[in-house]
Structure 1
Amino acid sequence: MKNILVIICCLLITICSVGQQQVEWGKWKIWGDQGNGIYVNPIIPSDYSDIDCIRVSNDYYAISSTFQFSPGMTILHSRDLVNWEISGNIIDDLTQISNELSWTHMNRYGKGVWAGTLRYHNERFYLFFGTPDEGYFMTSAPTVKGPWEPLTQLLSEAGWDDCTTMWDDDGQACFIGTHFSDGYKTYMFKMSVDGKSIDRKSAVLINSGDGREANKLIKINGWYYLVFSEYKAGLGRYVMAKRSRKMMGPYYEEKQLALSNREAMEPNQGGIIQGMDNKWYFLTHHGTGDWSGRIVSLLPVTWVDDWPIIGEVLPGSIGRMKWSGAMPFIDKKKLNINRTDDFGDGKLSPQWQWNYQPRQEMFSLSVRPGWLRLKAYTPLKVNKLMTAGNTLTQRCFRKQDNDVIVKMDITNMADGQKNGLCHFSSQHAALGIVKEGKNSYLEYRKNDSITRGPQVHSPFIWLKSQWGLDGNSRFFYSLDGDNFIAFGESYQLVWGNYRGDRLGIYCFNDNNEKGFVDIDYFHYQ
């Protein structure tokens, strides 16, 4: 028995050592829950940016910013802080914020729904968030599944971001936000008990300078901590904290909690949370984005002199990136982020988001049960995919083997119609079908430069994209679902508009509102 324990301990040490030596970004072969009591970072190698996290009883909930995508503000659920599922998206109608976020305008790339904070108070969930152009908003619901109330605007001013809130033990409430357009000055406001208003005149400056944002206000063991990130030229972005014995401050004491860890793409924004093992953790995104976006890791938190030091604790009581650790909890049911959809539920799976608020009557999951119908209408600019409203998207992953196949019924396409499978961020590429007169052709698109392919006579077409850890994608097509032929250039997935690469299914018509395409399935290995 003793020998078995020694072997197990040696195995765990070896696994942890392998994970901790992983410093070359993006070349991981293992990630997440390893099934042996160990997890390896990243835990979600996908673009779940601006994470905040709360614990409610034995469940964890996290939110992620969504920018112009609809529905907005994704909410995740976990039982162990490592395995997550998408619980849903909170903001159904982005036009509550601005019509600029609608298919009629499409004028908020890189803007829209930015970072927020999630809270649970008096048996109710609260979401607070900001947009850089319109200000701060909030909504609340009895459960994470909703129904979420219509948005309430708290501050109608441009130039603010990264808010956080708290209800103190006596019921007093506060709201914190950063005025990034005025030298990154962070203010605390008095907030109404129902969370639906803030007193603009009550603003007190509590932090400023050096790109300070990513605010999270927490209370632990009698201390109030304002956790935030800071940026300095030559050093990068890293995690800081100020603390006080009173919620309303003053916040005089200050400490750097972690190094910038540039080799790990600067983990810096997230939520400090207590695990089921009674240990503390920092659920964070990696803030320097590349083609995979700002992906998610889980770092241990060690309390040193009542300061939450993040990651591996170094001499001087400062933390750095840690690539692995023991699972905070072992749950029998392993949650996962779904990517595949057979469109058989009568509603879109929660991983899907439209590029901008969609035109509701131009898609259907009921007219042909088991299929998604996309109806074609004209883009805001002729033949410009990034201004075409009927584009359904989801996040892609940075893992060794990615294989996405879409099956389309193209028999009802009309003259001028174009539809297909795309990758997009600040740049894009796609493989699809174009209808000209009575003929259909294959076409490869790269930033609106088009390569014409062979004529297609089949009523069905299968389109595929494959990529690996390097983010180099190749497109393929098939006329029988089994034999695939490569077409078009290879395409390097890119970062842009504060987002990593997105997968999309698009449908538009340059000539008029005619034609549609039916999607049988979207299979993402």
Structure 2
Amino acid sequence: MFLHTLITTLLLLLLPRQALSQTTLTNPVIWQDHPDLDVFRIGHTFYYSSSTFAYSPGAPLLRSFDLANWEAVTHSVPYLNFSPANAYNLTSGSRAYVKGIWASTLRYRPSTDTFYWLGCIDGSKTHIWTSPGGNARQNGGEVPPQAWNWSPRPVISNCYYDAGLFFDDNDDSQVYVAYGNTQIRMAQLVVDQNGDLKEVRNQVVYTSGDMTLEGARLYKRNGEYYVWVTRPADAQFVLRGKSPWGPFERRVLVDRIGGPLSSAGFAHQGGIVDTEDGRWFYLGFLDAYPGGRIPVAAPLTWGGDGWPIVVRDGGNGWGRTYPLPVNTTRKVNVLGPRVDEFKGGKLGPEWEWNHNPDNGKWSLSDGLVLKTATVTGDLFAARNTLTHRIVGPKSRGTFRIDVGAMRDGDRAGAVLFRDKAAYIGIHKTGNTASIVMVDNLNLVEGSWTTSSTGRVAATGPSVTGEIWLRIQADITPAFGTNTGRQVIFSYSTDGRTFTNLGPAFAMSNSWRYFTGYRYGVFNFATKALGGEVKVKSFAMEMV
């Protein structure tokens, strides 16, 4: 126990912080799955919003002071208040895999000190959440953790697909949303006395013909309006006009340019942001499965004709490194390796549940208590699986779990979670809790129904109390290849010596599930509710 505490303390001391001597930005800027990004700045603070599909809470918000080091601070959608509720709650046999929060948008309205998040859900209505009162404008954009106060607002009965929200910098009562697929539309909104958004005008401002364009973001520079749109999944285009209503001209920004990683896609579908001293940067993402879609950044210049230009490397590609955008002494808890002992009153912002959790079946009490929340034989149908993005290119996630309160028929463990999944865990049969490695858990691509609930590929010894379960994952990009990156599962009964169990698992490189692989921890019943486990720690380390 002393050794484990010492190791944990050392890891906590080694947690990455923003390095004060750092002089470069290295791509990928975050080696985690954070796609469909929307980026903006308030004072000296940069914010980055991302999509999460059926994970809850949704729409994570990241923060940075230099565009190179990012930390998670909150989620704009604390729970998925979408219809049908049973699908997002994983109840009544329904589910919402690959639904939910796609490319959404988030901006700050200075005059009322309010953050607005907008997202079209399932092709129907646009949901809105706001967080007021953080005093961001007066504090250089910084919001204290306790000041985030997200609440749902009335929906708009129109789908703002792949939207870009914009409060005009001259008068933030002038509100616009650029959105659409191939037909790019502009909606004008007003903010009523309650702070709610209502549409007052809507029209098509650009049509791309037979070429798909989507992922709209709206900006204003030197009195002109720019709509950034992507050709999925390999190019970024820019529309430019003197009015939000056009007419718009179109130029190519990047089209299938190489780098900065091999066996990954091309940088596309992003946004731009300026620094306090007037320099601009473009952030996009790469398809980098099995890890997902990961962000990259590059400086942006403006030609004498007012069109933007991405700064490339010596080989005319996307640079692996660039000079650090901002030199600052402000620190962040950089996304990446970390130790979490599940202390305090709430989960950290790096964690997301598979669908909305049953909040009556989990708690934080000197660890994370997971009571069984579902009776099922299907992990994909079980509530309260808690997930964490994997850091690349190679890492391992280790869960320390007390399984002493499991009941007959319960199944708990550490899962490599995606539509093609595997886990190492505990199956309780009668009074015996056996360590198992299970693979071949599969969803049907497209319908996302379960085609296989898994097979026990290997069995280890029985346990009675604490167990350390480890997943070691190589998410080096293998997109567009037949290479299945390997995952190794292992266990330990003392936290020091680990034993591999089962065959290596080959991850899927398919993009159709959209999100990348995640580490996860679960506990469900196959016979009756009542059992529980306590997750005492999670450690994610580079290997």
TM-score by shorter chain over 0.5: yes
Change (3 A) 1:98 1:81: farther
Please name the residue that 2:491 is paired with.
477
Matches within 5 A, 1:251-330: 251=248, 253-261=249-257, 265-286=265-286, 288-304=287-303, 305-312=305-312, 320-330=317-327
Matches within 5 A, 1:11-50: 35-50=21-36
Give yes or no for contact 2:178–2:227 (8 Å, CA) kept in 1.
Answer: no
Structure 2 CA distance for aligned equivalents of residues 469 and 114 of structure 1: 23
Structure 2 CA distance for aligned equivalents of residues 97 and 56 of structure 1: 33
Structure 1 CA distance for aligned equivalents of residues 331 and 245 of structure 2: 41
Give yes or no for contact 1:242–1:254 (8 Å, CA) kept in 2.
Answer: yes
Structure 2 CA distance for aligned equivalents of residues 468 and 218 of structure 1: 38
Letter in 2 for 1:110: V
Structure 2 CA distance for aligned equivalents of residues 502 and 200 of structure 1: 42
Give yes or no for contact 2:313–2:319 (8 Å, CA) kept in 1.
Answer: no
1:437 to 402, 406, 430: 430
Higher mean C-alpha displacement, 429-438 vs 306-315:
306-315
Letter in 1 for 2:191: V
1:398 is the counterpart of 2:392: yes
Structure 1 CA distance for aligned equivalents of residues 66 and 206 of structure 2: 34
Structure 2 CA distance for aligned equivalents of residues 301 and 340 of structure 1: 36
Aligned-pair distance for 1:201?
6.5
Q: Deviations over 1:129-169 (max 9, x none)?
A: 22234431222222365212214311355xx6201122333
Q: Deviations over 1:206-237 (max 9, x none)?
A: 23342200100000111100111124xxxx52
Aligned-pair distance for 1:373?
0.5
Aligned-pair distance for 1:276?
4.1
Letter in 1 for 2:408: D
Change (3 A) 1:266 1:135: farther
Please name the residue that 2:526 is paired with.
510
Letter in 1 for 2:231: E
Aligned-pair distance for 1:385?
1.1
Aligned-pair distance for 1:486?
0.3
Please name the residue that 1:29 is paired with.
none
Letter in 1 for 2:76: I
Aligned-pair distance for 1:124?
1.9
Please name the residue that 1:465 is paired with.
471
Aligned-pair distance for 1:342?
0.4
Q: Deviations over 1:481-509 (max 9, x none)?
A: 11110001111233451111011001100
2:184 to 183, 186, 195: 186
Q: What SS does structure 2 have at the residue aligned with 1:456?
A: strand
Letter in 2 for 1:433: I
Letter in 2 for 1:392: L
Higher mean C-alpha displacement, 73-82 vs 169-178:
169-178
Structure 2 CA distance for aligned equivalents of residues 515 and 452 of structure 1: 24
Structure 1 CA distance for aligned equivalents of residues 237 and 229 of structure 2: 5
Give yes or no for contact 2:190–2:197 (8 Å, CA) kept in 1.
Answer: yes
Structure 2 CA distance for aligned equivalents of residues 227 and 487 of structure 1: 48
1:70 is the counterpart of 2:56: yes
Matches within 5 A, 1:2-401: 35-99=21-85, 100-104=87-91, 105-121=93-109, 122=111, 123-142=113-132, 143=134, 145-156=147-158, 161-168=161-168, 169-170=170-171, 171-178=173-180, 180=181, 184-194=182-192, 196-199=196-199, 202-209=202-209, 210-231=211-232, 237-251=234-248, 253-261=249-257, 265-286=265-286, 288-304=287-303, 305-312=305-312, 320-335=317-332, 336-337=334-335, 339-365=338-364, 369-379=365-375, 382-400=376-394
Give yes or no for contact 2:126–2:155 (8 Å, CA) kept in 1.
Answer: yes
Aligned-pair distance for 1:186?
1.8
Aligned-pair distance for 1:199?
3.4
Change (3 A) 1:240 1:86: same
Letter in 2 for 1:520: K
Q: What SS does structure 1 have at the residue aligned with 2:72?
A: strand
Aligned-pair distance for 1:98?
3.8
Letter in 2 for 1:185: Q
Q: Deviations over 1:109-136 (max 9, x none)?
A: 1121111122112232111122234431
Q: Deviations over 1:55-94 (max 9, x none)?
A: 1011011101011000010000000011011011111121
Letter in 1 for 2:217: K
Structure 2 CA distance for aligned equivalents of residues 404 and 167 of structure 1: 41
Aligned-pair distance for 1:422?
0.6
Structure 1 CA distance for aligned equivalents of residues 176 and 277 of structure 2: 30
Please name the residue that 1:5 is paired with.
none
Structure 1 CA distance for aligned equivalents of residues 313 and 459 of structure 2: 57
Please name the residue that 1:27 is paired with.
none
Aligned-pair distance for 1:314?
9.6
Aligned-pair distance for 1:313?
8.2
Structure 1 CA distance for aligned equivalents of residues 377 and 119 of structure 2: 34
Aligned-pair distance for 1:340?
2.6
Aligned-pair distance for 1:272?
0.7
Aligned-pair distance for 1:187?
1.2
Q: What SS does structure 1 have at the residue aligned with 2:380?
A: helix
Q: Deviations over 1:415-437 (max 9, x none)?
A: 11000001111210100000011
Change (3 A) 1:106 1:352: farther
Structure 1 CA distance for aligned equivalents of residues 81 and 381 of structure 2: 17
Give yes or no for contact 1:476–1:486 (8 Å, CA) kept in 2.
Answer: yes
The normalised TM-score by structure 1 is 0.85
Change (3 A) 1:511 1:278: same
Letter in 2 for 1:377: A
The normalised TM-score by structure 2 is 0.82
Q: What SS does structure 1 have at the residue aligned with 2:514?
A: coil
Letter in 1 for 2:73: S
Letter in 2 for 1:211: T
Q: Percent identity?
A: 28
Query: Structure 2 stretches of 5 or more lacking a match?
Result: 1-17, 135-142, 442-453, 477-484
Q: What SS does structure 2 have at the residue aligned with 1:229?
A: strand
Letter in 2 for 1:225: Y
Q: What SS does structure 2 have at the residue aligned with 1:340?
A: strand
Query: Structure 1 stretches of 5 or more lacking a match?
Result: 1-31
Give yes or no for contact 2:165–2:218 (8 Å, CA) kept in 1.
Answer: yes
Structure 1 CA distance for aligned equivalents of residues 259 and 65 of structure 2: 30
Give yes or no for contact 2:290–2:475 (8 Å, CA) kept in 1.
Answer: no
Higher mean C-alpha displacement, 194-203 vs 66-75:
194-203
Structure 2 CA distance for aligned equivalents of residues 41 and 49 of structure 1: 15
Structure 1 CA distance for aligned equivalents of residues 63 and 82 of structure 2: 26
Change (3 A) 1:521 1:314: closer
Aligned-pair distance for 1:106?
4.8
Give yes or no for contact 2:20–2:328 (8 Å, CA) kept in 1.
Answer: no
Q: What SS does structure 2 have at the residue aligned with 1:95?
A: coil
